[in-house]
Amino acid sequence: MITVAFSHTWHDGNMENTGLSEPVEEAVMAFWAISRESVGMTRIENLVGPQQRAALRPPAVHLSEDPAEATDLAVKIAEGELTELVSEEEHFDELPRVGDLMIVCDGEGIPRSLVQTTEVSTRDKLVTERLVSLYPKQLSKKK
């Protein structure tokens, strides 16, 4: 298990000073269309219609403001090597909750993993999130 201290980099359209590429909207939507099956949301369009479906997409995030580090961390999350994130409480508008989903993007804005928060704890103004990658699914390696 790897633990990384980070600050969520949410995407509000102002990323010019970070060196990061904003998530590629078409890639994020295509990734969500495929990965939502992992969380049992394949019939969501039938329930809410195509316009509302996009509003239900989890946020797309980078795990670092440095593009190379964001890519490295996104790969580690997707491969199941990174399962815990620690951040200062002040970086959150709202604390994460068990069951929250997010799409983790690399430094070029390409989605790498759909993750779910499985545990949240706070201590000394630090928030620890335990995560599991729902997509891509981890396959056990044969030895």
Residue-wise pLDDT tens for the chain (143 aa)? 444 555 554 444 444 445 677 888 889 988 988 888 767 766 555 555 555 555 578 999 989 889 999 999 999 999 999 999 998 998 888 999 999 999 999 999 999 999 999 999 999 999 999 999 999 875 444 33
Q: Is residue 43 part of a domain?
A: yes
Q: How far apart are CA 64 and CA 6, in angstroms?
A: 6
Between CA 121 and CA 123 the distance in angstroms is 7
This model's pTM is above 0.85: no
| Predicted pLDDT of residue 47 | 59
Q: How far apart are CA 97 and CA 18, in angstroms?
A: 27
28 in helix, strand or coil? helix
Q: What is the pLDDT of residue 40?
A: 72
Q: How much is the pLDDT for 44?
A: 56
pLDDT of residue 38: 67
Instruction: Give the domain extent around 90.
Output: 2-135
Phi and psi for 76 in degrees, rounded to 5?
Answer: -65, -35
Is residue 129, in this structure, part of any structural domain at all?
A: yes
Helices (H), 25-127: 25-35, 44-48, 50-55, 67-78
Specify if 29 maps to a domain: yes
Residue linked to tokens 């590629």:
24
Residue type, 61: V
* Residue 39 counted as domain residue: yes
Terminal Cα-to-Cα distance of the chain (whole angstroms): 20
The answer as to whether 143 is a domain residue is: no
CATH code of the domain covering residue 78: 3.10.400.10
Does 66 map to a domain? Answer: yes
pLDDT for 74: 94
| Domain assignment of residue 141, yes or no | no
Domain count, the chain: 1
According to DSSP H, which parts of the chain are helical? 25-35, 44-48, 50-55, 67-78
